[in-house]
Structure 1
Amino acid sequence: VIVVLFKGAVVDESNGKVLVVQDRNKTTNAWKFPGGLSDLGENIGETAVREVFEETGVRSQFCSLLSVRQQHNHPGAFGMSDMYLICRLRPLSFHIDFCPHECLRCEWLDLTELAQTSDSTPVTSRVARLLLYGLENGFQNIDLTMEQMPAVYSGLFYQLYHRRLPETA
């Protein structure tokens, strides 16, 4: 059995800031991207958008899948393996009204600062560097976008996350 956590990296492209939280119930209060578990039948992007809103009060839109982390024997995963999917989201609102039951703090932090601070998780600082690269060189170079595809079963569809090929390919 695998626990899958969905995180949303909400990036304000106009100023290079990203929305981050510190969990209330963790032993270390490192900056990380907001998120949580999906509801039954909920897609990756829908989960990230919903979880970001529930934790921070910020509305957002799914853009892409950025990274997947897999881990085994983590003490916080209830004895199961876990996967941690980070999505790139575009903010639709900017006012923070965070959930005090889940979050100790919530802020818009500069991506450069997040990439360099020791007050973030290793995956958060790595994805912050990836986002900085996307800001500077275009997100098409880092995004795994979603494409709805017809399943082999009549009338059903699935979501394929992949890097799009250049239009000329």
Structure 2
Amino acid sequence: MQLMNAIKKRKSVKRFSNKKPNWRKVIRAIDAARFSPAAGNQFAMKFIMISDKETIQKLAEASQQEFVRDAHFVVVAVSDDSKLERSYAERASRYSRQQAGAAIQNFLLAAEEQGLATIWVGHFVEDQIKTILGIPEKMVVEAFFPIGHETAIKGSEARKPELENILYFGKWGNKKMEPETRITSRNA
């Protein structure tokens, strides 16, 4: 699959089929995360891959997200801000969040390319997740991702904003590129 196809095709999936994905595909998706940009080339992310159904059940409870129970795997993304604090002091947390977003996007696109279905879960009780998985207190649980194959039952498709509604040129509010060309999703 080409990159732009994966970007445009990727979606959040809450309904998983009974077919269990190959664990190697999940690991390949995680591997893609390490190629993301990192502040000062200091990669501060760790990932935990869970397949135990009892643990997945506990993650569903900690997030109050019932659909998580149906996942065959869950991948938890964790950051270690202290890795960046030595170089960036008070900016470490900001750079760590940026790095996490970039790493997670790589992971999501690689999962799509592997034919895996997932969704970004950001609502959870962090202390519960840390206790369930034995994550040290200093770490930051960024998000987690239930993984499976999409069921034949489709949910509603989320509409994406049109390019002309998110792009300005040179300064805030300027929608025209020099020379007077109006950019739209169709001519970009």
Higher strand content, 1 or 2: 1
Higher helix content, 1 or 2: 2
* TM value normalised by structure 2: 0.27
* TM value normalised by structure 1: 0.28
